[in-house]
């Protein structure tokens, strides 16, 4: 009965071109990555789908620091942070992150988590009590949505980027504990939330802001400290979440907020308390990653990334215009080419793959129905030639996918 039920669901997914499958990477995360079946010779593909924005996931010094951390601290942490798993490496990392965010958040302390997903569940469940209301941006990441679902707080949603609608909701609210919850850089669109306006609203309505900077930390700001540095914001109302598996190239996440908030999370946040601490070696590797991000190398990687973004956007703008597609209004490393229906997005992704290029086709429920897209992400380890190759391949794919679209539908 269960299996039949699931089989029907799988058939429905297939009919809507929504089946997902995993590919196996045989080599490290890098623009040129070998992909294939478990026991087959892998194919080298030029990839534009990782979130390794600075190209640090396969950085020799960070990999070396990871090995050094393993030699010093062993493989595992052995317990949760509150039992015996909290190591010197974790504490050093938290201290370093707190110092980084202190210019933007008075009395900032930082708390390291195994993943960003857990950090978001922790913040929203620990602060989103029955006395609170969460005001959630419509395009928030799934982990923020799940955190809001799990929280006891009342949840209200405001349309993407619509500060007027949010203002109206805040004004109408009688709740004394208001939290605005938003991504900084939207993960499937690449645009940046109007955080200065949101902060002004927070001040006017005595609300707090939970900001998830998964795609901004490391990439935005002179020193890579993320969206708060980029926009020059400072307030104790900011509850900041940065993730460390994307631009920072390793794994995990952190919350930086006023010391009282962090203390509350340590004592009450179940996704923090009831899980084994990440291996100390991971935190040790992140110390090296932070040094690189803040230093000259990080600066030059961000400058190179900015040049690649400009090159890709000018090429994509011409292409989108010809095909009647929409290029997202994004200045970040996330560049969505919105084609509309699922089958076209898949056909485009397949046409690129036939040329040895890998770009993810993002479909519902990750994005709203009718907005299936290629989500092209750039990394500082791409070259200008890589971007040219992608643009040329897209131009060649264009006539193929616009015509066979009807054929594909008939076949389905």
Ligand X SMILES: *Cc1c(COP(=O)(O)O)cnc(C)c1O
Residues near ligand X (CB under 6 A) are: 115-117, 120, 141, 143, 183, 187, 212, 214-215, 243, 245, 253
Task: Give the Cα separation of 23 and 81 in Å (integer).
Answer: 34
Compare residues 201 and 244 and give the one whose CB is closer to ligand X.
244
59-82 core/surface letters (b: 16 or more CB in 10 A; e: else): beebbebbeebbeebeeebeeebe
Contact present, 207 and 178 (Cβ < 8 Å)? yes
Among candidate residues 50, 184, 187, 330, the one labeled active-site is 187
Contact present, 376 and 359 (Cβ < 8 Å)? yes
Among 205, 128, 126, 139, which residue's Cα sits nearest to residue 166? 205
Q: Quick check: is 349 catalytic?
A: no
Least distance in Å: CB of 185 to ligand X?
8
Compare residues 53 and 104 and give the one whose CB is closer to ligand X.
53
Compare residues 155 and 391 and give the one whose CB is closer to ligand X.
155
Least distance in Å: CB of 108 to ligand X?
20
Least distance in Å: CB of 333 to ligand X?
12
Least distance in Å: CB of 140 to ligand X?
8
Q: Quick check: is 87 catalytic?
A: no
Q: Quick check: is 215 catalytic?
A: yes
Phi and psi angles of residue 118, each rounded to the nearest 5 degrees, phi first:
-70, -35
Among candidate residues 59, 86, 141, 246, the one labeled active-site is 246
Task: Give the Cα separation of 238 and 196 in Å (integer).
Answer: 11
Using omega within 30 degrees of 0 as the cis cutoff, is the peptide bond preceding 137 cis? no
Residues in the chain: 412
Least distance in Å: CB of 114 to ligand X?
8
Element (H, E) at 372: strand 372-377
Compare residues 183 and 341 and give the one whose CB is closer to ligand X.
183
- For ligand X, the nearest residue by Cβ is 116
Compare residues 363 and 394 and give the one whose CB is closer to ligand X.
363
Which residues are catalytic, by number? 187, 215, 246
């Amino acid at each position: 009965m269960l299996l039949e039920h699931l089989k029907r669901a799988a058939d429905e997914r297939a009919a809507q071109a929504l089946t997902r499958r995993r590919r196996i990477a045989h080599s490290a995360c890098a623009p040129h990555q070998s992909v294939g079946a478990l026991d087959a010779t892998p194919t080298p593909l030029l990839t534009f789908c990782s979130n390794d924005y600075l190209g640090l996931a396969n950085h020799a010094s960070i990999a070396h620091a990871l090995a050094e951390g393993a030699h010093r601290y062993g493989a595992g942490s052995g317990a949760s942070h509150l039992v015996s798993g909290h190591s010197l490496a974790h504490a050093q990392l938290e201290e370093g992150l707190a110092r980084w965010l202190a210019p933007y958040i008075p009395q900032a302390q930082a708390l390291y988590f195994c993943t960003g997903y857990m950090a978001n569940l922790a913040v929203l469940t620990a602060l989103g009590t029955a006395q609170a209301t969460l005001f959630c941006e419509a395009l928030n990441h799934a982990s923020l949505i799940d955190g809001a679902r799990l929280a006891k707080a009342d949840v209200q949603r405001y349309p993407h980027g619509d500060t007027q609608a949010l203002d109206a909701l805040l004004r109408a609210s009688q709740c004394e504990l208001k939290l605005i919850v938003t991504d900084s850089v939207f993960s499937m669109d690449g645009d940046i939330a109007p955080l200065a306006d949101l902060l002004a609203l927070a001040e006017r309505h005595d609300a707090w802001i939970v900001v998830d900077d998964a795609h901004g930390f490391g990439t935005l700001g002179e020193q890579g400290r993320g969206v708060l540095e980029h926009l020059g914001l400072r307030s104790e109302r900011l509850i900041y979440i940065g993730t460390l598996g994307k631009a920072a190239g390793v794994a995990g996440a952190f919350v930086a907020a006023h010391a009282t908030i962090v203390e509350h999370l340590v004592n009450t946040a179940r996704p923090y308390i009831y899980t084994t601490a990440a291996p100390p070696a991971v935190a040790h590797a992140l110390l090296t990653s932070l040094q690189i991000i803040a230093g000259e190398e990080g600066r030059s990687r961000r400058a190179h990334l900015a040049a690649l973004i400009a090159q890709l956007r000018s090429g994509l703008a011409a292409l989108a215009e010809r095909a009647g597609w929409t290029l997202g209004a994004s200045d970040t490393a996330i560049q969505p080419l919105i084609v509309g229906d699922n089958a076209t997005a898949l056909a485009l992704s397949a046409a690129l793959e036939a040329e040895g290029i890998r770009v993810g086709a993002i479909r519902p429920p990750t994005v709203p129905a009718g907005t299936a897209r290629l989500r092209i992400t750039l990394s500082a380890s791409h070259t200008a030639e890589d971007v040219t190759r992608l643009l040329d391949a897209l131009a060649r794919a264009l006539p193929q996918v616009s015509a066979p679209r009807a054929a594909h539908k008939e076949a389905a």
